Amino acid sequence: MRTSVSPNSTREPWQAESAPGEVQVRLGNRYHGQLGFRRLVLAETLIALMQQQMPAPSWRLRSATLKFAGYATRAPASVITVHRAVFPGSMLANVRLIQHGRMLGTCVGAFERDWRPAVAPPPVPPALGEPHRLPPLQNWPEDAENDCRDASSRLQAQSALAVLGGFARHREPRRVGAEHVPTLLEPWLAMPDPLGRWREVEEIVLEMHAQGSSSEMHSGGYYQVVVERREWSSETERLAGSIWSPAGKPVATAHLVTRLTDL
């Protein structure tokens, strides 16, 4: 099954149907930023399509693993989704992004009917004060999609690790789902590392602590974000990004592998 690209959509550059199969995606200007191709926006698209293509809405995303290779161009690409039941109450979804005959990204998601958190949630978030008292954060024009407040200096003063973070919320009020976790992290991942190098995301392992239908995912307030460096080498680093709801409840943890580059 192939569907056509929706000509009038800006945030959702596809026209998806209820049955799983192949969907064409228009990788337009939103996917290309000041630092090149925005892989975290692509992650948002792959997770959203994967959820839309599930056979029934009763399936809830528990975890997902995304890997990226190569760079996309401003041209249509194909997203192919395959579902496979592994237990009566569990299902795996495999999503592949292909452009010009090349594999650019994959996403494997684990879904359950009787939803439970993927792993133990992170501890309570650090106390950072009121978001509106923190300086706004906008590294690049594309960050304007979110209202972000930066508390990185406070976090670094409290920890011996390289830590970034603050608060973020969508400027346009809408439900926050699993697909939005990568782009809520993006403003801090767009910062250079302590040596001034830029991060290119190569892999994301997403663990959900709240299901998309819960009240925690429907608030229009600020979500707290903390990004910690866990491992580092001269060429790569491993980061853990945690997100809490405006009520302080854990929403998701993302484990990221990045390649460090001088551009």
Residue 59 lies in a domain: yes
pLDDT, tens digit, 9 for 90 and up, residues 108-126 = 999 998 877 767 777 888 8
- Out of 82, 112, 142, a domain closes at 112
Same domain, 59 and 143: no
pLDDT, tens digit, 9 for 90 and up, residues 177-216 = 899 999 999 999 998 888 899 999 999 999 999 876 555 5
Same domain, 176 and 256: yes
Distance CA 110, CA 112 (A): 7
For residue 95, give the CATH number of its domain.
3.10.129.10
Same domain, 102 and 150: no
Distance CA 38, CA 229 (A): 20
Same domain, 65 and 104: yes
Same domain, 107 and 157: no
Same domain, 145 and 69: no
- Between 201 and 8, whose confidence is greater? 201
Residue 135 lies in a domain: yes
For residue 236, give the CATH number of its domain.
2.40.160.210
Task: Give residue 213's pLDDT.
Answer: 56
Distance CA 48, CA 12 (A): 9
Q: How many domains does the chain have?
A: 2
Cα angle value 249/254/255 (rounded, 5°)? 140
Share above pLDDT 70 across residues of the chain, in percent, rounded to a whole number: 88
Task: Give residue 223's pLDDT.
Answer: 94
Distance CA 150, CA 134 (A): 6
Q: Which long-range contacts (C-beta less than 8 Å, at least 24 apart) are formed by 12-21?
A: 12/48, 13/45, 14/45, 14/49, 14/79, 16/49, 16/52, 16/53, 18/53, 19/53, 19/55, 20/53, 20/54, 20/55, 20/81, 20/82, 20/83, 20/93, 21/53, 21/80, 21/81
Amino acid letter at 203?
Answer: E
Distance CA 28, CA 125 (A): 36
Same domain, 221 and 254: yes
Same domain, 103 and 180: no
Domain ranges, residue 54? 2-112
DSSP string, 55-78: SSTT-EEEEEEEEE-S---SSEEE
